[in-house]
Amino acid sequence: MTVLVTGGAGYIGSHTTYALLDRGDAVVVLDNLSTGMRAHVGERALFVEGEVSDHALVARLVSEHGIASVIHFAGSIVVPDSVKDPLGYYQNNVVASRALIEACIKAGVKEFIFSSTATVYAEDAPQPLAEGSPKAPISPYARSKLMTEWMLEDTSKAHDFRHIVLRYFNVCGADPQGRTGQVSPIPTHLIKRASLVALGRIPHLDIFGTDYPTPDGTGVRDYIHVTDLANAHLIALDALRSGAASTSYNIGYGRGLSVRQVVAAMGQVIGRPLPVKEGPRRPGDPPTLISNPAKIRAAGWTPHHDDIAEILRSALDWERRFNA
Ligand code: UDP
Domain that holds residue 209: 190-221+254-291+304-322
Ligand 1 pocket residue status of 235, Cβ below 6 Å:
no
Residue 221 Cβ inside 6 Å of ligand 1? The answer reads yes
Choosing from 190, 212, 214 the residue with most ligand 1 atoms within 8 A of its CB, the one to mutate for a pocket test is: 190
Angle at 97 between CA 93 and CA 103, to 5 degrees: 160
Show the CA angle centred on residue 324, arms to residues 177 and 36, nearest 5°: 65
Among 259, 277, 312, residue to substitute to test ligand 1 (most atoms within 8 Å of Cβ): 259
Does residue 202's CB lie within 6 angstroms of at least one atom of ligand 1?
A: no
Query: Is the shortest distance between the CB of 258 and ligand 1 below 6 Å?
Result: no
* pLDDT tens figures, 173-217: 999 999 999 998 889 999 999 999 999 999 999 999 999 999 999
Q: What percent of the chain has pLDDT over 90?
A: 95
CATH number at residue 285: 3.90.25.10
Q: Which helix (H) or strand (E) element contains residue 117?
A: strand 111-117
- pLDDT of 1: 85
Please check the confidence at residue 324 and state whether its pLDDT lies above 70: no
Whether 264 and 131 map to the same domain: the answer is no
Whether residue 182 lies inside any domain: the answer is no
The answer as to whether 299 is a domain residue is no
Please give the Cα distance from 16 to 231 (Å, whole number).
Answer: 7
Count how many domains the chain has. 2
Task: Measure 190 CA to ligand 1 centroid, in angstroms.
Answer: 5
End-to-end CA distance of the chain: 37
Catalytic center residues: 141
Reported confidence tier of residue 283, pLDDT bands at 50, 70, 90: confident
Whether residue 156 is found in the same domain as residue 25 = yes
Residue owning the nearest CA to atom 12 of ligand 1: 219
Residues 58 and 93 in one domain: yes
178 found inside a domain = no
Distance separating alpha carbons of residues 180 and 164, to the nearest angstrom = 25
* DSSP 8-state symbol, 29: E
Q: Is residue 297 part of a domain?
A: no
Cis peptide leading into 128, omega within 30 of 0? yes
CA distances from 273 to 25, 188, 205, 264, 319 (A): 43, 21, 11, 7, 19
**CA distances (Å), 45 to each of 50, 54, 144, 318, in order?**
15, 20, 29, 22
Closest approach atom of ligand 1 to CA 281 = 11
Residues 215 and 112 in one domain: no
CATH code of 161's domain: 3.40.50.720
Say how many CA atoms lie within 13 Å of 165 toward its Cβ. 20
Mean pLDDT, range 218-229, rounded to an integer: 98
**Shared-domain flag, residues 205 and 73:** no
> Does any domain span residue 217?
yes
Bridge pairing between strands 67-72 and 257-258: unpaired
CB distance 170 to ligand 1 below 6 Å: yes
259 lies in the same domain as 245: no
Confidence check: pLDDT of 223 > 90: yes
pLDDT tens digits along 35-68: 999 999 999 999 999 999 999 999 999 999 999 9
Q: Is residue 211 part of a domain?
A: yes
Q: For residue 168, what are the β-bridge partners?
A: 117, 251
114 and 80 co-located in one domain: yes
What 3-state class would DSSP assign to 309?
A: helix
CA of 43 to the centre of ligand 1 (A): 33
> Model confidence over 89-133: pLDDT tens digits?
999 999 999 999 999 999 999 999 999 999 999 999 999 999 999
Identify whether residues 94 and 238 lie together within a single domain: yes
The answer to whether the CB of 278 is under 6 A from ligand 1 is no
Asked whether residue 180 is domain-assigned, the answer is no
Please check whether residues 241 and 275 belong to one and the same domain.
no
Alpha carbon of 78 to ligand 1 centroid (Å): 13
**Ligand 1 pocket member 55 (CB < 6 A):** no
DSSP-assigned letters across all residues of 127-170: SSBPTTSPB---SHHHHHHHHHHHHHHHHHHHSS-EEEEEEE-E
Asked whether residue 185 is domain-assigned, the answer is no
The verdict on 152 and 246 lying in the same domain is: yes
Average pLDDT, the chain: 97
The stretch 229-242 carries a mean pLDDT of 98
Question: In this predicted structure, what is the pLDDT of residue 284?
Answer: 79
> Are 73 and 118 within one domain?
yes
Given ligand 1 and candidates 121, 189, 204, 266, which is best to mutate, with the most ligand atoms within 8 Å of its CB? 189
- 45 and 136 in one domain? yes
Mean pLDDT calculated for residue range 146-152? 98
